[in-house]
Amino acid sequence: MSAVRALSDRSVRNLCVMPALGLLILFNVFPLLASFALSFTDFNPIIDTKPVFTGLANYAGLLDSPRQEVWRAFSRTGAMVAVTVGLETILGFCVALLLRRAFKGRGLFTAILLIPMMLSPAVMGSFWRYLFNVDYGLVDWLLDARLAWDGSRPLSFWAVVIAEVWMWTPFMMLLSLAGLNAIPKTLYEAAEVDRAGNWFRFRHITLPLAAPMVILGVVFRAMDGFRLFDTAMVLNGNLEGQPTTFVSVLLHARGFGGSRSLGEPAALAYLLLIASLALASLVLRYLDHVRARRGASGFTGRGA
C-alpha cells in the first residue's frame, strides 16, 4: 500500500513539475543555448541561408581596441548603473526610515509611492519624454529654461537617470523597509537603557542589520540596470554614439540593422551577461563577508 501511495505521489509531482520544466526549457534554456551558438557564427537571416562558423571572431572584434563604441557603451552603462542605483538606495532607505514610523495615512502614502514601480517602463519613458519636451515640457517650464533633454545632448543621460530613479526608488524602499522591520525592537530598548544616542543606534544597530536586505536590492537593481533598454529607447531612440547608447541599446541597434550579422550582437549580449554575473558575484561575496563578520561579532552587528 505504501509503495502504491509513493508511486501515486511521484506521479502527481511529475505531473505538476514536468510541464513547468518543459516551458522553462522551451522559453529560457533553448533560446539561451541557441543564441550562445549563434555568437560563434556569421549569419544574417535576410541574405544567408545557413550560419558560417567563425569561432571567437565576434568576441575578438568586439574587444578589439579600435572598436571604441563598445567600450564607451559599457562605460556609459556602468556610470548609469552607479548613479541610479546609488541614488535609489539612498533615497529608498531614507523614505523607509520615515515610513517605519507610525502615522495616519501611512498605508495610503506607501501605496502611492509604489505606483511608478508597477507601471511599464515604456509607458513611464513616454511620460517622461513629454515632461522633458523642450517646447511644452513641464520640467523646462518649472526651471524657466529651454534645456535639451534628448538626442545627442549631455542632458539626455541625466534624463534617463531621473526617470530610472523615479521608477525604481520604491523598490529599494520596500526592501529597506523589510530589512528595518526585521530588526528586533529589544535591541533598541537595550540601547535606550544604556543611554545610547541616535547616531550610535543607527550606526551599530539599524545600518548593519538592515544592510543585507539593502545589498540584495542593490544586486537586483544593478543587474537590471545593466540590461536597461526601455527607458533609454523611448526617450532617445537607438542611435549609436549618443550619451544614452547603453549596451542594450547598442545591441538593439546592431542586431536590427538589417545588413548586419546576428553573431556580433549575440556575442555582445553574452559579454553583457558576463559583466552582470561578475558584478553580482562580487556583491554577493561582500554580502557573505558582512554576514560572517556579523556572526563573529555578535547579533548586534557591531563588527559590520
Q: Residue 88 belongs to a domain with what CATH number?
A: 1.10.3720.10
Beta strand segments in the chain, E: 41-42, 52-53
| pTM of the entire predicted model | 0.79
d(CA 212, CA 180) in angstroms, rounded, equals 11
Distance between CA atoms of 157 and 23, rounded to whole angstroms? 38
Angstrom distance (rounded) from CA 136 to CA 150? 14
Residues in the chain: 304
Side chain identity at residue 67, one-letter code: R
Question: Which DSSP helix (H) or strand (E) runs through 146?
Answer: none
Boundaries of domain holding 208: 69-297
Distance, in Å, from the CA atom of 166 to the CA atom of 171, rounded to the nearest integer, reads 10
Whether residue 51 lies inside any domain: the answer is no
Q: Total domain count for the chain?
A: 1
Is the pLDDT at 171 greater than 90, yes or no? Answer: yes
Checking if the pLDDT of 301 tops 50, the result is no
Average pLDDT score over residue span 184-189: 84
**Domain presence at residue 48:** no
Average predicted confidence (pLDDT) for the chain? 81
Residues 6 or more apart whose CB falls under 8 angstroms from that of 40 comprise 53, 54, 55, 56, 58, 263, 267
Residues near 75 by beta carbon (within 8 Å), at least 6 away in sequence:
none
Q: Is residue 229 part of a domain?
A: yes
Domain assignment present for 60: no
Flag whether pLDDT at 266 surpasses 50: yes
Q: What is the pLDDT of residues 103-129, one digit of tens each?
A: 788 888 888 888 888 888 888 888 888
CB-CB contact of 42 with 261 (8 Å): yes
Return phi, psi of residue 45, to 5°: -65, -15
Residue 185 resides in a domain? yes
Residue 283 lies in a domain: yes
Q: pLDDT (tens digit, 9 = 90+) per residue, 47-96?
A: 777 888 888 888 888 877 556 788 888 888 989 999 999 999 999 999 99
Contact predicate 74/251, CB 8 Å: no
All cell numbers assigned to 31: 533560446
Q: Is the pLDDT of residue 252 over 80?
A: yes
256 close to 266: Cβ distance less than 8 angstroms: no
Judged on CB neighbours under 10 Å (0-12, 13-18, 19+), 246 is buried
**CB distance 258 to 46 below 8 Å:** yes
41-42 and 52-53 strand pairing: antiparallel
Q: Is there a domain that residue 24 lies in?
A: no
- Gap between the Cα atoms of 237 and 282, Å rounded: 32
Q: Taking a C-beta distance cutoff of 8 angstroms, is the pair 201, 227 a contact?
A: no
The pLDDT of residue 303 = 39
Rounded-to-integer distance, Cα 71 and Cα 135, Å:
34
Q: Is residue 142 part of a domain?
A: yes
Beta bridge partners of 52: 42
